[in-house]
Amino acid sequence: MKLIKCLTIIALFILALGSAILLLPEIRHFIISRAESVLDKALFRDFWFLFLRNMAITGFFIVAASGFALLTKTGRALCIECRDAWEQEFRSLTRKRYVIWFLILTAVYLLGILTIIRANFSYNDDLDRALKGYRGWSVWGRYIADFLSTILHMNLRLTDISPLPQIFAVLILAASTLAFLKILSQDNITIPALVAAIPIGLSPYFLENYSFKFDAPYMALSVFFSIIPFLFYRKTAVFRITSFFCLIAMCMSYQAASGVYIVMVLIIACRLWIAGETSVKNMLTFIAASMASYLTALIFFKTALFVSMPDGSASTAALPLNRLFPGIASNSITYVRTIIGDFRGGLPVVSLPLSILLFIIINVFSSKRNRALTFAVMLIGVPVMLILSYGAYLALQNPLWLPRAFVGFGVFTAAVLTYTVTTPAAKALKLCSIAAALLVSYNFLVIDLAYGNALAEQKQYQNFRTALLVADLSRSLDNSLVEPVIRIENNIGYSPVIDNISKTCPLVKRLVYIALSGGNEWGHLPLHYYRFNHAADYEYADDNSFFVLPVLIDNSYHTIRGDGKYFFVTLK
């Protein structure tokens, strides 16, 4: 009784506080003001004002869910069922053989990113975070990243502690791969299956995620949260509840992984179809229940957790209903074309289609159902699974087309390869499937190592170009104490070594970040690393005053126009 009274008091307190925050804007302003006083810094008030409102709504949901779980017979039964299922599954993953597989996967993934760690390349906003120590992921709804980064860095102000975040990312992806293998191999993990699942952690697209020194572990967590629910897919209630909460966690880690869950649903549905383990009705019920959990979680995140700012990125805006289907079709075509273009001229453009062909052939010959119907289902299902690996981004007006958004592709590749090597088939087909898995995974490892070396070359080239520019600008400054205003046009381009690598894998050029450039907010940051303080003018306004400045220096690397205070730099 004392426990119930205590929980009742806590619930009433949350409801009272939530109501006050939701209904009285003055309370929200007061909380923000107090937070600014304690932290001794100005906060992004518009964001936190809406965030507190959403947290109040979430508090109501937590109270309602907790009340159902603790005060109703059905709720208590579900809690017990979930607890027992979670304990059983996670305890089984600690068995000696799983620990060995986990260590092997960790070693392989660490080998794959060894050159990235060695390059020590500050990628994109890593440059800014290392200088200023901010977090800022909450603006994108990535609250778990904000929270865990404080724990990992042991401070609200972040510092560069690489390669520790990348190592944590490897450990998380190794655990994700282990869960993936347990699901698809039906608790019978073999070496061929292990090789086939390697693209989860060594997908060339995930290299960009690994490259972020501050973001990497939270991006990896999004994959982990997307796979874990399927350990319970045979237990309907547990699976639905776990899916909902894990998908919320995925959204709060990195939303670009939203396609991973869909790939898992479809590959398990494929196994159910081929093995004839259940009726078509039950299989469709599984797909419908999974999609219901998926949509419910994403809608809840979008409406109750995510703070959509008016000046935010256009990539968060969904397609309007009247353009939904044409927009999804257009995004799907762009997604497939981008993948083909990224691997054009390399081995994956041949090995991946062959792997898909093997997947279809093995399914047709192994099917316990009508083979002609199975062939038709595969012809439709495989392209759909590939397209849906892009996830919810398909329904956005301006989705992110950078490599880091293609998280689902690695899981799609691993699903196809793992399925083919774990499905009983004729000896010749089995040998072909194992060879395909080995070929694709090894090729991905080669690309990963080449990319890390490319980063090292780019860093050396970038440092040379930055030092040269700083030296030339310093010679052109007057003696005024006023900071010079600098506008940069174009960028330094790529190291010559990268031109060679990109001939075998064009994706590398999309992966390598050009730090010193014009037209973006971080393009001037390399200059700050040389203690060259200046005011950056990176927005290309319709202003010809910079173009009429006299030419001070013109060489093979840049042209500098200026008058001692204002400079216009054209990079070559």
Count how many domains the chain has. Answer: 3
pLDDT computed for residue 41 by the predictor: 75
Q: Evaluate whether residue 313 is within a structural domain.
A: no
Q: At 46, phi and psi to the nearest 5?
A: -60, -40
Say whether both 151 and 212 belong to one domain.
Answer: yes
Q: Supply 502's token pair.
A: 């990109």
Say whether both 217 and 359 belong to one domain.
Answer: yes
Annotate 432-495 with DSSP letters as a single string. Answer: HHHHHHHHHHHHHHHHHHHHHHHHHHHHHHHHHHHHHHHHHHHHH--S-SSPPEEEEESB----
pLDDT computed for residue 542 by the predictor: 46
Q: Evaluate whether residue 555 is within a structural domain.
A: yes
**How many Cβ atoms from other residues are within 10 Å of residue 275's Cβ?**
15
> 569 has which bridge partners?
488, 560
pLDDT computed for residue 312 by the predictor: 46
Q: Give residue 529's domain range.
A: 452-571
Q: At 489, phi and psi to the nearest 5?
A: -120, 145
Distance CA 389, CA 258 (A): 8
Q: Evaluate whether residue 207 is within a structural domain.
A: yes
The position carrying tokens 């279809």 is 360
Q: Supply 378's token pair.
A: 């595969």
Q: Evaluate whether residue 102 is within a structural domain.
A: yes
Say whether both 109 and 181 belong to one domain.
Answer: yes
Please say which residue of 70, 95, 128 terminates a domain.
70
Please say which residue of 24, 46, 70 terminates a domain.
70
Say whether both 78 and 62 belong to one domain.
Answer: no
Say whether both 89 and 16 belong to one domain.
Answer: no
Say whether both 216 and 248 belong to one domain.
Answer: yes
CB 271 within 8 A of CB 325: no
Give the full edge-to-edge strand order of the sheet including 566-571.
Answer: 535-536, 485-489, 566-571, 558-562, 551-554
Say whether both 110 and 173 belong to one domain.
Answer: yes
Say whether both 395 and 469 belong to one domain.
Answer: no
pLDDT computed for residue 541 by the predictor: 44
pLDDT computed for residue 156 by the predictor: 87
**What is the signed CA dihedral for 235, 238, 243, 244, rounded to 10 degrees?**
140
Q: Evaluate whether residue 316 is within a structural domain.
A: no
CB 253 within 8 A of CB 225: yes
pLDDT computed for residue 202 by the predictor: 96
Distance CA 336, CA 385 (A): 12
Q: Evaluate whether residue 320 is within a structural domain.
A: no
pLDDT computed for residue 314 by the predictor: 46
pLDDT computed for residue 537 by the predictor: 62
Q: At 43, phi and psi to the nearest 5?
A: -105, 160
Judged on CB neighbours under 10 Å (0-12, 13-18, 19+), 160 is middle
The position carrying tokens 């975040």 is 165
Q: Evaluate whether residue 383 is within a structural domain.
A: yes
Say whether both 447 and 522 belong to one domain.
Answer: no
Distance CA 384, CA 363 (A): 16
Q: Evaluate whether residue 314 is within a structural domain.
A: no
Please say which residue of 46, 70, 94 terminates a domain.
70
State the maximum Cα–Cα separation within the chain, in Å, rounded to a whole number.
Answer: 84
Say whether both 434 and 464 belong to one domain.
Answer: no
Say whether both 388 and 371 belong to one domain.
Answer: yes
Give the closest residue to 206 by CA, choosing from 424, 498, 412, 495.
412
Distance CA 257, CA 262 (A): 10
Say whether both 172 and 296 belong to one domain.
Answer: yes
Which positions of the chain have pLDDT values less than 50? 311-314, 540-542
Give the closest residue to 228 by CA, choosing from 268, 273, 179, 185.
179
Distance CA 131, CA 160 (A): 9
